[in-house]
Amino acid sequence: MPLKNTGTEQLIKDTTKRLIFAEGKLHATTQEIADAAGVNRTSLHYYFRSRDLLIAAVFQEAMHGLSERLNQCMVSAKPFKQKVEFLIEVFLKDMMAFPYQETFMVTEINTLGKQLVGNIDSVPVKSFLSEVQQEMDSGNLKAMPPSQFLMNLFSLLSYPLIMAPLYKQLFQLSDGAFDELITARKTMIMDLIFNSKS
Amino acid sequence: MPLKNTGTEQLIKDTTKRLIFAEGKLHATTQEIADAAGVNRTSLHYYFRSRDLLIAAVFQEAMHGLSERLNQCMVSAKPFKQKVEFLIEVFLKDMMAFPYQETFMVTEINTLGKQLVGNIDSVPVKSFLSEVQQEMDSGNLKAMPPSQFLMNLFSLLSYPLIMAPLYKQLFQLSDGAFDELITARKTMIMDLIFNSKS
DNA sequence: TTTTATTTTAACATTTTTGTTAAACAAAAA
DNA sequence: TTTTTGTTTAACAAAAATGTTAAAATAAAA
């Protein structure tokens, strides 16, 4: 552990996170990262040993943060509907700040594989899924396997953001107009999920 | 144009398509592709000049095919609901045969950018979107911007497949069990999209 | 102040992958 | 058969990226 902590290690991680997850430089080289952080490329190796380990550290940190925030939503004391509403807000906010985080996850989903799911605490997810089941039993939600409900929710939230460049082109939208479209989805998704006839 | 067509060019394209889109070797090197096709690596350059051009050719061919099949659905004479049902079937079938096609698209969405949308014929999409608007006007569909309807449909179809490795882990499912989950989504998506209260 | 541990850097080495050249090969046309 | 055209290959070259070593710089501790 560093006695003389100069903050370089965190600077490198933060810079990598910004480059890859916010600016979309998914294949940023060690040189590009070092330049952006204003340090010598060797420092990356000094602190993280290899490029792969740096990326892994950054990704783990990001996933852990997001996972923690989502878990707070899932286990909060709010009524179910408010809980989902809050979850949508938290998730959308994160995704708009780091638009390429999920894209990166998709590209690395095979290499990271099981390690990825290891970063997700399954307890809050399971508790959330059983709450979904309860809501279905009481007729507040259309009956379906709770896993499908969860996939629906995240599909509707994530996919348009992942495909943003495509949809902007297809619908001929400016960045601002597209952001409005995404923001409008919050209530739309709530509607779609909660107001379906059984 | 080759006088002595030995089929090597198409063999290389088909092998690349299989490696990348079906087997998920998203970063396959020219050597790996050549080996898989059983040809010398130089042949790749002879026919396509560079790796990038090969990939571009393969991707364009794949997108064009899918786009054509989707367009056939969109402009078919069927009633709206059957049309959507057919579209879901065609799309799911394609995605299950080439599970990494869309993942690849996500990763290359920035580099390919506008060129990508160029491969999509906008006429059938526009005609489909106006048909969606009609259905909303007649009260058969919950009112919302047609672009949102389209994004919802493709979100619900695509995202679970893109994230398959994650969901298999998270829900502890075998490949077979996951396939069932996906197959079950067909009717579930129809339900969700058509049976929402206005 | 000297010593010590940590941090940072420059120079070098290696690996990985792509791209090029020129020659060998094969088959149809002259 | 020889010529021509197209195809395939081996050997070489170059580029791009990562990883290593050893020395210089820095700041705290003795």
Closest chain A residue to B149, measured at CA: A188
Q: Closest Cα to residue A11, out of A46, A42, A36, A45?
A: A36
Contact yes or no for A113 and B197 at CB 8 A:
no
The upper half-sphere exposure of residue B172, i.e. CA atoms within 13 Å in the direction of its Cβ, equals 3
Q: How far apart are CA A15 and CA A21, in angstroms?
A: 10
Please check the confidence at residue A114 and state whether its pLDDT lies above 70: no
pLDDT value, residue B113: 59
Q: For strand D, is any atom closer than 7 Å to the CB of B42?
A: yes
pLDDT value, residue A169: 86
Contact yes or no for B106 and A109 at CB 8 A:
no
The upper half-sphere exposure of residue A32, i.e. CA atoms within 13 Å in the direction of its Cβ, equals 12
Please check the confidence at residue A1 and state whether its pLDDT lies above 50: no
Q: How far is the CA of A39 from the C1' of C7 (A)?
A: 12
Q: How far apart are CA B54 and CA B45, in angstroms?
A: 9
pLDDT value, residue B105: 87
* pLDDT per residue as tens, chain B (198 positions): 445 667 899 999 999 999 999 999 999 999 999 999 999 999 999 999 999 999 999 998 998 888 899 999 998 999 999 999 999 999 999 999 998 998 888 888 777 656 667 777 778 899 999 999 999 999 999 999 999 999 999 999 999 999 998 899 889 899 999 999 999 999 999 999 998 765
Q: Other CB atoms closer than 10 Å to residue A116's CB: what's the count?
A: 20
Between the two ends of chain A, the Cα-to-Cα distance in Å is 58
What's B22's DSSP letter? I
pLDDT value, residue B111: 72
pLDDT value, residue B114: 63
Residues of B in contact with A166 (CB under 8 A): 105, 109, 116-117
Q: How far apart are CA B80 and CA B2, in angstroms?
A: 45
Q: How far apart are CA A57 and CA A53, in angstroms?
A: 6
| Of B158, B163, B192, Cβ closest to residue A152 | B192
Residue B41 host element (H or E): helix B41-48
Q: What average pLDDT score do residues A69-87 get?
A: 93
Q: Closest Cα to residue A151, out of B161, B194, B100?
A: B161
Tokens, residue B147: 């672009």
Q: What average pLDDT score do residues A125-132 get?
A: 95
Q: How far apart are CA A189 and CA B120, in angstroms?
A: 27
Q: How far apart are CA B173 and CA B178, in angstroms?
A: 6
Closest chain B residue to A162, measured at CA: B106
Provide the mean pLDDT of chain A: 90
Mind telling me how many Å the CA of A187 is from chain B's nearest CA?
11
pLDDT value, residue A183: 94
Q: How far apart are CA B80 and CA B92, in angstroms?
A: 18
Q: Does residue B101 contact residue B157 with C-beta atoms inside 8 Å?
A: no
Show Cβ contacts of residue B42 under 8 Å, excluding neighbours closer than 6 positions: none
pLDDT value, residue A4: 60
Q: Annotate A42-59 with DSSP letters as a single string.
A: HHHHHHHSSHHHHHHHHH
Q: How far apart are CA A140 and CA B175, in angstroms?
A: 31
Q: For strand D, is any atom closer than 7 Å to the CB of B50?
A: no
Provide the mean pLDDT of chain B: 90
Q: For strand D, is any atom closer than 7 Å to the CB of B8?
A: yes
Mind telling me how many Å the CA of B170 is from chain A's nearest CA?
7
Task: From residue A99, give the alpha-carbon distance in Å to each of A16, A94, A160, B2.
Answer: 14, 8, 11, 45
pLDDT value, residue A103: 87
Closest chain A residue to B116, measured at CA: A166
Q: Annotate B67-102 with DSSP letters as a single string.
A: HHHHHHHHTSSS-HHHHHHHHHHHHHHHHHHSTTHH
Say how many CB pairs under 8 Å bridge A and B. Answer: 119
Higher pLDDT, A109 or B141: B141
Please check the confidence at residue A79 and state whether its pLDDT lies above 90: yes
Please check the confidence at residue A5 and state whether its pLDDT lies above 80: no
pLDDT above 90 as % of chain A: 73
Residue A15 CB burial class (10 angstroms; 0-12, 13-18, ≥19) = buried
- Residue ranges of domains in chain B, CATH in brackets: 59-194 (1.10.357)
- Within its chain, how far is the Cα of B7 from the centroid? 26
pLDDT value, residue B1: 41
Residues of B near A (Cβ–Cβ under 8 Å) read 24, 26, 103, 105-107, 109-110, 113-114, 116-117, 120, 122, 125, 142, 144-145, 147-148, 151-152, 154-156, 158-160, 162-163, 165-167, 169-171, 181, 184-185, 188, 191-192, 195-197
pLDDT in tens, B6-16: 789 999 999 99
Q: How far apart are CA A190 and CA A79, in angstroms?
A: 14
Q: For strand D, is any atom closer than 7 Å to the CB of B139?
A: no
Q: Which amino acid is at B119?
A: N
Q: Annotate A87-117 with DSSP letters as a single string.
A: HHHHHHHHHHHSTTHHHHHHHHHHHHHHHHH
Higher pLDDT, B165 or A111: B165
pLDDT value, residue A118: 72
Closest chain B residue to A182, measured at CA: B148
Q: How far is the CA of B120 from the C1' of C19 (A)?
A: 32
Show Cβ contacts of residue B100 under 8 Å, excluding neighbours closer than 6 positions: B20, B21, B22, B23, B24, B26
Tokens, residue A20: 């890859």
